[in-house]
């Protein structure tokens, strides 16, 4: 199992050929992607923010949300985590803990600075591709 944060998923929605999109494609063929209701809610909310929405192709946005819902494995984290300096990013740690993730793929410095978190590496998309 692997966890992708929303910053990486948004990067994948912005450029079909970018590194985040490549990492997501690799994960859908070589790993199982863990998702949760809070992750999907944040993804949809961020992708529809007016100042960001103009940079995201509506077809790529819809494709990404559909792919995550269709190919992601849903988990409901039960153990609260408060380890991240940005409290809203704790949802990724909770998800990683619940699903037994082998990695978290992130573009967020608040998560990257924790690596490894409880023996789970937090990798940039390019680092994930190199593994």
pLDDT by residue (tens digit) across 53-78?
788 888 888 888 998 999 999 999 99
| Residue from 120, 66, 52, 130 nearest 92 by CA | 120
Average of per-residue pLDDT across 29-43: 96
In angstroms, how far is CA 17 from the centroid of its own chain?
Answer: 17
Report how far residue 11's alpha carbon sits from residue 84's, in angstroms, rounded to the nearest whole number: 21
Report how far residue 97's alpha carbon sits from residue 99's, in angstroms, rounded to the nearest whole number: 6
List, for residues 82-111, the tens digit of each pLDDT value: 999 999 999 999 999 999 999 999 999 999
How far lies 64's CA from each of 38, 51, 97, 118, 128, in Å? 16, 19, 24, 29, 19
Q: Which residues contact 29 (CB under 8 A, 6 or more apart)?
A: none
Average of per-residue pLDDT across 28-47: 95
What domains are there in the chain, each with its CATH number? 2-130 (3.40.50.1010)
Q: What per-residue confidence (pLDDT) applies to 14? A: 87
Average of per-residue pLDDT across 101-122: 97
Query: What is the pTM assigned to this prediction?
Result: 0.93
């Amino acid at each position: 199992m692997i966890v992708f944060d929303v910053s990486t998923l948004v990067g994948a929605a912005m450029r079909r050929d970018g590194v985040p999109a490549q990492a997501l494609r690799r994960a859908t063929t070589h790993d199982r992607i863990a998702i949760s209701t809070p992750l999907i809610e944040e993804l949809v909310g961020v992708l529809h923010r007016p100042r960001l929405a103009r940079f995201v192709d509506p077809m790529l946005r819809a494709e990404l949300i559909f792919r995550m819902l269709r190919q992601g494995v849903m988990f409901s984290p039960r153990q609260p985590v408060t380890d991240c300096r940005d409290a809203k990013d704790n949802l990724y740690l909770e998800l990683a803990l619940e699903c037994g993730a082998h990695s978290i793929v992130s573009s967020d410095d608040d998560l990257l600075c924790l690596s490894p978190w409880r023996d789970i590496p937090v990798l940039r998309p390019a680092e994930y591709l190199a593994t």
